[in-house]
Amino acid sequence: MNPEQLVTKWVKEAVKNIYGEGATDNLFQTQATRKEFEGDITAVIFPLLKFSKKSPEITGDQIGSYITSNYKEIESYNVVKGFLNIKLTDEYWMDVFNTIASTQDYGQLPQSGKSVMVEFSSPNTNKPLHLGHIRNNLLGWSVSNLLKANGHKVIKVNLVNDRGIHICKSMLAWQRLSGKETPQNSGIKGDHLVGKYYVAFNDMLVKEVEELISQKVPREEAEKQAPILKAAQEMLVKWEKGDREVFELWEKMNSWVYEGFEKTYKRMGVSFDKIYYESQTYLLGKELVKEGVVKGVFSEKADGSVWCDLSADGLDEKLLLRADGTSVYMTQDLGTAHQRFSEYNLDEHIYVVGNEQNYHFQVLKLLLKKLGYEWSNNLYHLSYGMVELPEGRMKSREGTVVDADDLIENMVTTARETSLELGKLDDMPKEEKEQLFEMLGLGALKYFIIKVDPKKTMLFDPKESIDFSGNTGPFIQYTHARIRSILRKAEEQKLQAKITDSKINPREREIIKLLTNFPDKIREGGIDHSPAIIANYAYDLAKEFNQYYHEVSILKEEDINIKVQRLILIDTISAVLRKAMGILGIQLPERM
RNA sequence: GGCCUCGUAGUUCAGCUGAAUAGAAUGUCAGAUUCCGGUUCUGAAGGUCGGGGGUUUGAAUCCCCCCGAGGUCACCA
């Protein structure tokens, strides 16, 4: 039971005994006491006035004196306006702290028995990953870890969009312009190479369109009639028919891309339990649609296309099968959802997908519900906002897309430059230094993106890059390194970790209070799947430690009991930091 | 136009299920430290929480209207 719950229980009992009334839970509110007042936990008295029929001050005083005389954990209380501030004893806090310090893997919640699938990343194979994918990947990865910390079994999946007209565009341009350039002979990373030809295709297309327009063809017509576009469409038809030559080229170029993606994923530190390919799943869902027609949920039009009328739900009519019987995006998603739930017996399925697809997922849930699948309630769209640049949204046409690999490289370079300038790492081996810069660069990037509420559009300014001080990943990394260094020194002095005293100073109290909150933060973050809560928590803890560090000299105290006690405290802080940052996928260095 | 989301210091972001004087970081300014600083420390200024109503003992938070930004309403995925 955490302190707030404890206080709630006491106050509830006090009200019952003093005023003879029981009341509903939501009338009992507690909060952490504000710093400017004395106390640890504050009970809000206003809602209880209807029982006491007295002023807030008198009511607070009555309740305060009752619980203080009945519970030994309370040291003192005071009443300010309608707030009853309760100060708990040092013994109580030390007791709480001892429990925390001796808990293995503190913050890990017990097994829930639930399994959750998280789908994220979901790239197209015609171009490299960009900044938007980074937000997606980091969210997917950290949410997965957060759910694990909540005790769920998590299956991370990636649905790769490896087929369609966009892939054919890259293939066609490669055929026409080169026909022999490979990642090996050009030294270009596979996904970037394919992306290069995708850009080349669009250049050729623009040229052809301009030419048609100069021949007095209307723009709209020209954009549809351009020969190179026709050729790409033909290629797609060939692919669908299983044309061997096209298929082999497709396999070859996709394999380049996968190799490239793999490198990026690895550097970012993300991985998947299973990768789905659309080329293998795009036919799924047709059966479901037919089933829906039989059930009368969907309807077939005269031309043979199948629709679902959602106007009663305030939405539009939605196409599910084309007149020629081929499927669309929605059809496929119906199929894959169904397949996954039956294959894995899932309790929940989370899609990490940008908010431009809110409508799609709203419809997806609704359709499955109409088909009678109860589990449609357990589909969750983790919708995140765009990452915008100072000049606005990223646009591939205007070349303002921030490439993921470039960005990561820049971050690491910046980390290297700023660290070397400070010149504190001179005695560190070269290899270890490089590892450190990698940690710092990625830590800065990851934290910067994760700490923002997912649903909000966020701004990223590449010119200013990212700070390494203030509310940042490196600040937390630095704090951790400092703690480890203190602990190393303590080891040299052969201090044994054992608590023998129960005296704590105010700052230590604050830290223990923060530590007490950690499981709640995990739980909170698990419910709305937001790692941002964990990120901000870790920052608060690190900051609190730094202030503590400035106030007391951890190793210089004469009294060995105090020394040792502080060591255990900061050791616990570093353990919690590791757990929190582990959830976010941010590594913490031992020294820096 | 319909539907969805967002609007908090100069800037980037917190603010949980309503509660005490709305918080950080960064930037600005002023001091201190030093060979000089991009280092460190201390302090200050900076907000009618987009605007207006309502509910409430109490609203940045809940409800309604308006304004502004973005997204979406494809036989693309």
Q: What is the pLDDT of residues A164-199, one digit of tens each?
A: 899 999 999 999 998 899 999 999 999 999 999 999
Q: How many CA atoms lie within 13 A of A521 on its CB side?
A: 24
Distance in Å from B10's C1' to A579's CA comes to 36
CB atoms within 10 A of CB A464: 8
Q: Where does the pLDDT of residue A294 fall: very low under 50, low under 70, confident under 90, or very high at 90 and above?
A: very high
**Residue A30, nucleotide of least CA–C1' distance:** B19
Burial of A302 (0-12, 13-18, 19+ CB in 10 A): exposed
Q: Which nucleotide is nearest to A314 (CA to C1')?
A: B3
State, as a whole number of angstroms, the distance between the CA of A427 and the C1' of B18: 55
Q: A551 CA, B35 C1': separation in Å?
A: 30
The rounded mean pLDDT for chain A is: 89
- CA at A547, C1' at B31: how many angstroms apart? 21
A366, pLDDT greater than 70: yes
DSSP-assigned letters across all residues of A479-544: HHHHHHHHHHHHHHTT-----------HHHHHHHHHHHHHHHHHHHHHHTT-HHHHHHHHHHHHHH
A36 CA from B21 C1′ (Å): 10
Where are the alpha helices (H) located in A382-505, listed in sequence order? 404-422, 430-450, 473-492
Pure H helices in A226-328: 227-241, 244-268, 278-281, 286-295
Strand B, nucleotides < 7 Å from a protein CB: these are: 2-7, 11-16, 19-21, 24-26, 38-42, 57-58, 70-77
Q: How many residues does chain A have?
A: 592
Name the band, by pLDDT with cuts 50, 70 and 90, for residue A497. Answer: low
Give pLDDT, residue A176.
Answer: 94
Using CA atoms of A148, A150, A153, A158 in order, give the dihedral in degrees to the nearest 10: -50
> Of the candidates A385, A375, A381, which has an alpha carbon nearest to the alpha carbon of residue A363?
A381
ipTM: 0.91
Position A379: which residue type? L
Report which secondary-structure segment, H or E, holds A32.
strand A29-32
CA pair distance A21, A353, nearest whole angstrom: 50
Inter-CA distances, A539 with A64, A190, A530, Å: 34, 38, 15
Q: What's the confidence (pLDDT) of residue A551? A: 75
**Cα distances (Å, whole numbers) of residue A247 to A162, A168, A326, A435:** 12, 10, 20, 41
**Residue A370's CB: how many other CB atoms inside 10 A?**
16
pLDDT value at position A506?
Answer: 80
Q: In what helix (H) or strand (E) does residue A172 lie, and over which residues does it extend? A: helix A165-177
Asked if residue A117 has pLDDT above 90, the reply is yes
- CA dist A121 → A107, A163, A284, A410, A427 (Å): 27, 16, 21, 22, 40
State the pTM of this model. Answer: 0.94
CB contact at 8 A, A170 and A128: no
Helices marked H in A55-130: 56-70, 90-102
Looking at the DSSP bridge assignments, the partners of residue A380 are A350
